[in-house]
Each structure stands twice: as structure tokens, then as C-alpha cells.
Amino acid sequence: MTPLEFDKYEGLGNDFIVVEAPEPLPVEAVTRLCDRHFGIGADGVLVVTPPRTPGARATMIVQNADGSRPEMCGNGLRCVALHLARKDGVERTDYVVDTDAGRKPCTVERSGDEANVSIDMGRAVPGGVERVESDGKILAFERVSMGNPHAITFSGIPSLSLVDSLGSRISAETPGGTNVEFVAERGPRSFDLVVWERGVGRTLACGTGACATAAALALAGRAPFATPIEIHLPGGPLEISVTEGTLDVRMRGPARRVFAGRL
């Protein structure tokens, strides 16, 4: 078997195995690599392939820990942007990275193995409200797409066991699955967020989830448009701004290379 060269990255604790390959890895390889006891351990694999469109630096293909392939991953894209900047030997640069959710412009500000990365995440697309019964209460979940699907509730953050059970239930009842977000207001322009991700489960951070949540908050009048707000995830904060009218979303947050290896 040919050795696999990899780099391990994390963005707010959302951790990934980054590999350069011509195509996605087999599902069984992804699940084995992401296993935290018998493999490297990660929330997913990010496969960096040649660009698909003119002017792009590369393509990012996301494979979740269960081998499924979501359209997009915001924390993962920050990690890939840092990986490309390290490979190119630059400290500050602008890239366009192709994804299954389209072209994503990125600005990288790097210092060694760490960086802050700003990404134009594209337009949030509202998809209506779904109401779910839980313990005799009806919870409203706002549907928002960031190229991948999200269901967001402003009903506060319940116990983590309920996050897990509700998240898996709502995702299973949604064709193709969905990420599920639980939001609580922390202060002016500041919110706490816990995310249950399809194909992974509860994670320390979710970039697209933070973006979808910011858009839903702005549309509901709970957060301002055109002003950065802080979304605090268990792994740390992201800065998100939403443009009124178009619902274009911009995200800024950290990425870090943890180690490299050969398997």
C-alpha cells in the first residue's frame, strides 16, 4: 500500500486530516483515518485536488468522519487556505478555492503554522420554518442553506444529551440530512452556538453553521446587518457579517496546523 502523507489541522477544535490527492478517498479509508482510537482521529478528511475553474488555486473536497460528502465546510476551508499558504510560502495572500458549493474567495494572514482567514461564504438562502415537538414543547427551527443545509433554533441551548438526540432526529427526518444549530444570546451582537453536524455528530465548531445562524439572526431582527457579530462555539469565537438584501455572508476565524505524518 502506498504511504499516505497527511497534515492535521484544526479550526476552533473542528479537526481535519488534509491530504493532497487527485480524487476523494474511499469511504472505508476515510472512516478508518478519522477513527480516534484506531486511526489518526478527525471530524473529517479534506482532500485538496487541482482547481476546477479558471483563477482558482485548488479544489477542496470534504469527507465527513462517516465517509459522507457534504457540500461545504467553513472551518475546513480556513484550514485548506492555511495549508495552501504554507505550501506557497506566503504570509498574506488572497485565494479562490473551488468547493462543491462553488468558488470561495479567501484572504489568509499567516504566521508560521497559524493563520486568521477571512472567507466570502456566499449567500444564505432561507428555507422556511420547521416545528419540532420535544418534551411536550414545540421548537421552531429556521431552515437556512449555506450551500449545505442547516436547521436553527433560537430556543436556547439544552443539555448536550438533548442536543445529540434532537440533532440526530431532525437530521434523520430531513431528506439528505441537515446540520442542526442551537442558539442562545450572550450579549449585544454576541451569541452562543452548539452544532450537531450530519455525518459527524456534535462538534466543537462549525463555520457554515455559524454563518447560517448569523443570517437567521439578522433576518429575525435579533442581530444587525452589515455589522460583524461574534458567534461563540465550544471551540471559540467566529466573526460573521451579513449583507442586507443579498444575504452575502463573510466569516473570519483561526486555523492551525497541528502536525504532519505518514500512514
**Active-site residues: which are they?**
73, 206
Retrieve residue 45's grid coordinates. Answer: 478528511
Cα(112)–Cα(239) distance, rounded to whole angstroms? 22
Determine how many CB atoms are found less than 10 A away from the CB of residue 48: 19
**116 bridge partner residues:** 109, 254
β-pairing, 229-233 vs 190-197, is parallel
Query: Residue 57 contacts by C-beta under 8 Å, 6 or more apart in sequence?
Result: 51, 84, 95, 96, 97
Cα(171)–Cα(153) distance, rounded to whole angstroms? 14
Burial 103-115 (b: 16+ CB within 10 A, else e): bbbbbbebeeeeb
